[in-house]
Amino acid sequence: MSDADTVSALDALLPQTQCRQCGYPGCLAYARAMARGSADINRCPPGGESVAADLAGRLALPVQPIDRSCGPGRPFTLARIDESRCIGCVACIRACPVDAIIGARGRMHTVVESECTGCELCVPACPVDCIELVPMPFPGKGGEGRGEDPDAFLRAWMAERAPRARARFERRAARRASRRKTLRGREADALQGAERAAVVAAAVARVRERRRAAGRGRR
């Protein structure tokens, strides 16, 4: 199996909340680090012990308890914006790794609850502290109640929501990469333009200097 296959297999075991509690900028980055042997398998609090055991099995490593220094392993939550206090600064949109917040600058923002992973990254980003976290309903049909069994909740999440969260994270990453490329292209164009202008200015100065010198020679 190739390295890319190993990364995909590990990524498929992760909950895709993209919360960064593992210390990496998303589940895929953590999967890559595990595949190259530079990260332990016990760093995903949302996945808890069952995901750590799956990762250990996949890599034929010993099972380890979750490293609680990564985060509290809380139950899944949803973000909710107090729209009466939102000032429309768009900071939460920039922070959300799965594009689960909609709104325009200077306007009220709102969370698309069906897409929120509860990663909490928008909460510290809000300058007026108007985002709260509420319990996430059981993923899937009906969405009623949280259920008593955290493993059943995680299984339902992995089947129902994780693939969508991964797809939204990847789309956002691709969009941001394309924007960075466009900006780099514009900067390169501007630099080329400035360099061309400098070359032309130097040529004009040389011609003027030659003419002045020729004029002095005739006198």
Give me the helices (H) in the chain, please: 3-13, 27-35, 48-59, 91-95, 122-125, 150-160, 162-218
- Structural contact between residues 79 and 120, judged by C-beta atoms closer than 8 angstroms: yes
The one segment of 34-42, 100-108, 138-146, 200-208 that binds ligand SF4 by CB under 6 A: 100-108
Compute the distance between CA of residue 209 and CA of residue 180 in angstroms, rounded to an integer: 43
Selected binder of ligand SF4 within 35, 39, 52, 121 (CB under 6 A): 121
139 lines the binding site for ligand SF4 (CB under 6 A): no
CB of 183 to ligand SF4, least distance (A): 23
76-95 residues near ligand SF4, rule: CB under 6 A: 79, 81, 86-92, 95
The one segment of 1-9, 124-132, 174-182, 190-198 that binds ligand SF4 by CB under 6 A: 124-132
CB of 152 to ligand SF4, least distance (A): 18
Give the SS3 label for residue 79: strand
66 lines the binding site for ligand SF4 (CB under 6 A): no
CB of 194 to ligand SF4, least distance (A): 37
Residue 154: closest CA among 63, 46, 2: 46
**Contact map string, positions 5 to 24, toward ligand SF4, x by CB under 6 A:** ---------xx-xxxxxx-x
Compute CA distances 194 → 183, 190, 202, whole Å: 16, 6, 12
Q: How many residues bind ligand SF4 (CB under 6 A)?
A: 45
39 lines the binding site for ligand SF4 (CB under 6 A): no
Residue 82: phi, psi to the nearest 5? -80, 95
Residue 31: phi, psi to the nearest 5? -60, -40
